[in-house]
């Protein structure tokens, strides 16, 4: 069975994508959130990034041709911006750390 043939992988990918889209929509109103709302949003983004990191690691570890092609496509796309997947995650992490710092400065 191929990587993408797995019902579990399909469900997880669909849920991850939907959750991410919902979180991005919610983030459009980030500036209107109170301090606690911002903390919750940041926490949810951190959880999303961790889920995404784990999902991508499963691609990397798979012997499936399509999974490997997906990783290659991601590397190519990010490479056009001069970054690697690891750098992408690090930059997201730095952004979330800055957001946390800004929230802590609020009274």
Nearest residue to 9 (alpha-carbon basis) of 44, 45, 54, 50: 54
Write phi, then psi, for 37 (nearest 5 degrees): -60, -40
pLDDT at 9 over 80: yes
User: Alpha helices of 1-107 — where are they, by DSSP H?
Assistant: 7-27, 35-61, 65-79, 85-105
Give Dmax over CA atoms of the chain in angstroms.
54
The per-residue pLDDT for range 10-67, each reduced to its tens digit, is 899 999 999 999 999 999 999 999 999 999 999 999 999 999 999 999 999 999 999 9
Q: Is 50 exposed, middle or buried (0-12, 13-18, 19+ CB in 10 A)?
A: exposed
pLDDT band for position 93 (cuts 50, 70, 90): very high
The per-residue pLDDT for range 57-88, each reduced to its tens digit, is 999 999 999 999 999 999 999 999 999 999 99
The total of other beta-carbon atoms located within 10 Å of residue 42's CB is 19
Question: What predicted TM-score, i.e. pTM, was given to this entire model?
Answer: 0.84
Distance of CA 104 to the CA centre of its chain: 23
Percent of the chain with pLDDT over 90: 84
């Amino acid at each position: 069975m191929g990587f993408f043939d797995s019902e579990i992988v399909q469900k997880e990918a669909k849920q991850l994508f939907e959750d991410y889209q919902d979180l991005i929509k919610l983030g459009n109103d980030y500036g209107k959130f109170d301090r606690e709302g911002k903390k919750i949003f940041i926490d949810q983004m951190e959880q999303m990034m961790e889920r995404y990191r784990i999902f991508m690691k499963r691609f990397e570890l798979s012997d499936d041709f399509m999974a490997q092609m997906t990783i290659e496509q991601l590397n190519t796309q990010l490479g056009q911006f001069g970054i690697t997947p690891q750098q992408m995650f690090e930059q997201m992490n730095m952004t979330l750390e800055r957001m946390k710092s800004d929230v802590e400065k609020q009274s």
